[in-house]
Amino acid sequence: MRIDRDVGLATDQEMYERHSHEVTRFAASLVGPFDAPDVVHDAVAALIASRSLMGADNPRALMYRAVLARAKTVQRATFRRRRREQRFAENIVTTDPEVMPEVARAVARLSAQQRACVFLTYWEDMTPTQIGEQLLIAEGTVKHHLARARKHLRGVLDD
């Protein structure tokens, strides 16, 4: 185990500047590159607010532990949000008496973008151009989401 005492570092800011790049890389390995800076910011801000960073024997290790804890929280929240979205999508789609339950379950498992394009195409009878205007995305992006959704649905429903 590597012990890294930050002797001579006088402020939280200096400790953060010294270790921010490596803990951000660590966070990116846990939650991906887009959420990593937010995870690091939240973790370090909590450490600074609690005044535990300056008094730590190993501030670097403390930052790693805080980032890991925050990453777990973000992952749990993301999982819960996706589950809520799936349940909501299942409820909306299953209220249509023409929709078979297995189709509703398959549609609910699509990504939010794919589900939106499928819903607007098949339930609202919109064209890819209209969907693009509604969602503020390019028509080609709509077609891409529809193609991926159809491929996924064929795979799930043909079994």
Of 87, 82, 153, the closest CA to residue 114 belongs to 153
Classify residue 35 by its DSSP letter.
T
Q: What is the pLDDT of residue 148?
A: 96
Q: Residue 84 domain-assigned?
A: no
The torsion defined by the Cα of 28, 141, 118 and 31, in degrees rounded to 10, comes to: 0
Indicate if 28 and 74 belong to the same structural domain. yes
Q: What is the CA radius of gyration of the chain?
A: 23
Indicate if 74 and 16 belong to the same structural domain. yes
Which of these three, 25, 50, 78, is where a domain ends? 78
Indicate if 72 and 101 belong to the same structural domain. no
Domain extent at residue 112: 96-157
Q: What is the pLDDT of residue 152?
A: 92
Q: What is the pLDDT of residue 99?
A: 67
Domain count, the chain: 2
Q: Residue 87 domain-assigned?
A: no
Q: What is the pLDDT along the chain (159 residues), one digit of tens a residue?
A: 444 444 445 577 777 778 788 999 999 999 888 999 999 999 999 998 888 877 778 888 888 999 999 999 998 988 888 788 777 766 665 566 666 778 777 887 888 899 899 989 988 899 999 999 999 999 999 999 999 999 999 988 886
Indicate if 62 and 24 belong to the same structural domain. yes
Indicate if 73 and 18 belong to the same structural domain. yes
| Residue pointed to by tokens 């991906």 | 32
Helices (H), 8-138: 12-31, 36-50, 59-94, 101-108, 112-118, 128-135
Q: Residue 20 domain-assigned?
A: yes
Q: What is the pLDDT of residue 1?
A: 42
Indicate if 32 and 73 belong to the same structural domain. yes
Q: What is the pLDDT of residue 96?
A: 61
Q: Residue 85 domain-assigned?
A: no
